[in-house]
Structure 1
């Protein structure tokens, strides 16, 4: 692609690089990116404009819109819908609520092919509502070499998908350490999280904070996803909630996570059903580590692919007001 000033009389068939006001009334479009026609040239000449800054495509170049559309089409996996190309940009949006699965190596490869070609995505595993923006493909200049566009398409084929919910019903077991039932706030916060992915929450279940009672409740809970919100924090993999999972015939896959708030999370399974022992911060609607794990479990990410130890970078989240021991002080 060649870029620079040319005499107006030589500008037909080039791409206008900067919007201009030709003066006077005109039905012609003189905005940035317009392909200049003979009528454009005549109008500019008639108004005394001598030169314009333009882009001229060389053989082997693709117009910005065509290049962006090709790359977006290659990237677009299941659950995503592409917008029409405009000003060298195509967006990929979620067709429904879900989480975004991204191949970071593929995206990084594309972005290193040619500075003219850029792809930006939301963070890997980000949750989106329907129509949420997942990816934007932007060609920076007015064209990109077709050979580089082809390389980008090959590197990025199917690199971004939307995982929708695969579970539709959850059971929450709450525990009490005394005679009083826990406040409703915790259950409502959990329900709000499930609602975002259209997961129904079963009837309220409250049991004493003891292994046998929790195990019994887990065994008889109808949900495809089993959640535990304890009245006393889980302090060890041999504490009450993890031991209840084992007593119910299940296994504990992981305890603790490098996300704050959210450290005291338990991940396990009973048969084919995933179990999440929620940290106390799940009583707040604020983002915490449990959100990341719940969303991936609900959207069908295999439990052995949920890399909890790998969540530390970016895992220092906003402080919540209800935190028993604030970080500061």
Structure 2
């Protein structure tokens, strides 16, 4: 692409690089100048204008953005994304449903390494999204880019971005109470969990409140409604064989994981009961603030398996904002 100042009389057919305020209305940057535009500019006493001219192999910004977006999201319905129309070299990719972001990070790195003016920016992987949220944006920075570079970018990031939709649409909640605990604690917890689920597009199918004992908990779990089961105990789980995990085993299920490298959220456990995922929520789930349980709940709701390696990778970026009401803060306050 050729770019720079030219005599006004020689600018016909070129792309105006900078907007001009003229009598009768402004000429916006990006305008392809015709004879009438040239006459208006000359009539205003402007002898030179800065323009861009495409060369033989160049692809105009909107055409390039559209081609790249179609390569990244070739089948929008399958990818859970909506492609916008190209404008000023940009195509937005918005979520078509509730879910989490899935992407091929290496492919996107490769795309962004090919040419500095061919770009894709996305949300982080596994981030929760709601319908309509902007997930990614393709931006062609100049007025045109070389066709060969565009071809390489399209090949590098083909089908590299998608939204994994929520498939488990309901959840049951089991709350336990310990002697002397206020009933309002369970009521508040139910409201917070219901709101957390609603943000995912998941309904709270049933709530059961039982004593903090493995037997009653196991009986309640066997008939608890919902596509997945959540347990929030009145006393924090402190071991793989504590009351909460034991209740899952007693009900005929299994516990696959206790503990995660995300804080708040360390004391989470994950299991399975009759084909339904069971998430033992840490005490911080009583707060609406982001915690490790959100990351697990979001993936489970979307039908994703969470391996030991997946859990291990959560540690990078897993130091989340402290919850003010936490009984045992990470850092002790010291007197000045």
Band of TM-score, shorter chain: over 0.9
User: What residue in structure 2 maps to residue 14 of structure 1?
Assistant: 14
Distance 1:210 1:167 in 2: 28
Q: Which runs of 4+ in 1 moved over 4 A?
A: none
Task: Find out whether 1:34 has 2:31 as its counterpart.
Answer: yes
Aligned position for 2:179: 178
Q: CA deviation at 1:141?
A: 0.9
1:293 to 2:296 alignment: yes
Q: Does 1:198 align with 2:201?
A: yes
Which digits, 9 at most, give the CA deviation of each residue in 1:238-275, with x for residues without a partner?
21111222222222222111111111111111232111
Partner of 2:223: 220
Which residue matches 2:99?
98
SS at structure 1 position matched to 2:24: coil
Q: Are residues 244 and 306 of structure 1, via their aligned partners in 2, closer, same or farther at CA, if it must alter by over 3 Å?
A: farther
Contact 2:100 2:302 in 1 (8 A): yes
Gap runs ≥5 in structure 2: none
Higher mean alpha-carbon deviation, 204-213 vs 65-74, is at: 204-213
Uncovered stretches (5+) of structure 1, i.e. residues with no partner: none
- 2:262–2:320 contact (8 Å) kept in structure 1: yes
Determine if contact 1:98/1:128 at 8 Å carries over to the other structure: yes
Aligned to 1:139: 140
Whether 1:128 aligns to 2:129 is yes
Q: Which residue of 2 aligns with 1:54?
A: 51
- Tell me, in whole angstroms, the C-alpha distance in 2 between the residues paired with 1:308 and 1:183: 28
Q: Which residue pairs with 1:310 in the alignment?
A: 313
Which deviates the most, 194-203 or 309-318?
194-203
SS in 2 for 1:183: helix
State the partner residue of 1:107: 108
CA contact (8 A) 1:169 1:201 kept: yes
1:307 partner SS: helix
Q: Distance in 1 between matches of 2:123 and 2:309?
A: 18
**Residues matched between the structures, number:** 326
CA 1:305/1:73 → structure 2, altered by over 3 Å: closer, same or farther? farther
Q: Distance in 2 between matches of 1:58 and 1:255?
A: 61
Cα offset, 1:230, TM superposition: 0.5
Residue 306 of structure 1, CA deviation: 7.9
List per-residue Cα deviations over 1:7-55 (Å, max 9, x = no partner): 1111111111111223x224xx511111111211111112221111111
Quickly say closer, same or farther: Cα 1:90–1:39, change in 2 above 3 A: same
* Contact residue 206 and residue 226 of structure 2 kept, 8 A: no
Q: For 2:66 and 2:227, how far apart are their aligned partners in 1?
A: 40
Q: Helix, strand or coil: the match of 2:114?
A: coil
Measured in 1, the distance between the counterparts of 2:274 and 2:155 equals 40
RMSD (CA atoms): 1.6
CA distance in 2, matches of 1:170, 1:266: 16
Alignment partner, residue 3 of structure 2: 3
Partner of 1:25: 24
Distance 2:97 2:226 in 1: 23
**Rounded Cα–Cα distance in structure 1 between residues aligned with 2:32 and 2:275:** 59
